[in-house]
Amino acid sequence: MKIIEVESYEKLSLLAADMIASQVLLKPDCVLGLATGSSPLGTYENLASRCGEGRLDFSRVRTVNLDEYCGLTAENPQSYRYFMDQNLFGRVNIDPANTHLPDGSASDMEAECARYESLVESLGWPDLQLLGIGHNGHIGFNEPAEDFPARVHTVQLAESTIKANSRLFDRVEDVPTMAVTMGIGTIMKARRVLLIAGADKREIVERAFHGPVTPQVPGSILQLHPDATVIFTRS
């Protein structure tokens, strides 16, 4: 695993965008695994600018997102689909039909999990998977647990995750308590993994990537990925 420390969030975003852009340039029809949250905002901004300037072409790119809240429709401004449309998909020349997220509003969530796992598999798994990390070590919405979940599944969100994510909702009671997420096994199938972590994640970066590999710190599994890069900043 490669761990790169950079001096600022701007540098982190630039470097992450460089890695994603080079993936798209080398393989124009690549499959990008994407993430939501505050961490990738600067990266998406960079990618959108490059596309606007005609330096990057998303017309053949396919995307699969990591996760989605249960119970929110795509039109809900708190949904991850809405976030992706606003922050990336609506700002680059990607074909919306090539953008995929789990459907958190499906009536049969078990069937939806199976559908989404098969979809990611049918696309050949991500060439590059972008990740953030939660303060408790979660990646996607894989919360600390007894085992590493293998496949797409629904999950009860940890109290700390609900609290952390409530900053984006009017009230903490509005944060969904369930989510659907790629499993750790799904994430590990990506050919390359890129995790970005801002200054607020110093402690968990230390625990996850310099401590033992354990499902209690789900992101620690990336120590065993054959091609994982972590970019973090302390300021």
Distances (CA, A) of 222 to 50, 162, 209, 228: 29, 24, 8, 6
Site string for ligand GLP, 136-165 (x = CB under 6 A): ----xx-------------------x---x
Q: Is 136 assigned a catalytic role? A: yes
Instruction: Identify any residues that bridge with 100 across adjacent strands, giving them in sequence order.
Output: 64
Site string for ligand GLP, 10-39 (x = CB under 6 A): -------------------------xxxxx
Cβ proximity to ligand GLP: between 40 and 61 the closer is: 40
Q: Is 138 assigned a catalytic role? A: yes
CA-to-CA distance for 19 and 109, rounded, in angstroms?
A: 34
Q: Return the residues of window 119-138 that contact ligand GLP according to CB under 6 A.
A: 132-134
Cβ proximity to ligand GLP: between 126 and 140 the closer is: 140
Q: Is 98 assigned a catalytic role? A: no
**E-state strands within the chain:** 2-6, 31-34, 62-65, 67-69, 99-100, 128-131, 153-156, 178-181, 192-197, 228-233
Structure tokens at 130: 């972008």
Q: Is 135 assigned a catalytic role? A: no
Catalytic residue (one of 136, 142, 153, 165) = 136
Cβ-count burial of 186 within 10 angstroms (0-12 exposed, 13-18 middle, 19+ buried)? buried
Question: So which residues are the catalytic ones?
Answer: 67, 136, 138, 143
Interface positions with ligand GLP (CB under 6 A): 35-39, 66-67, 132-134, 140-141, 161, 165
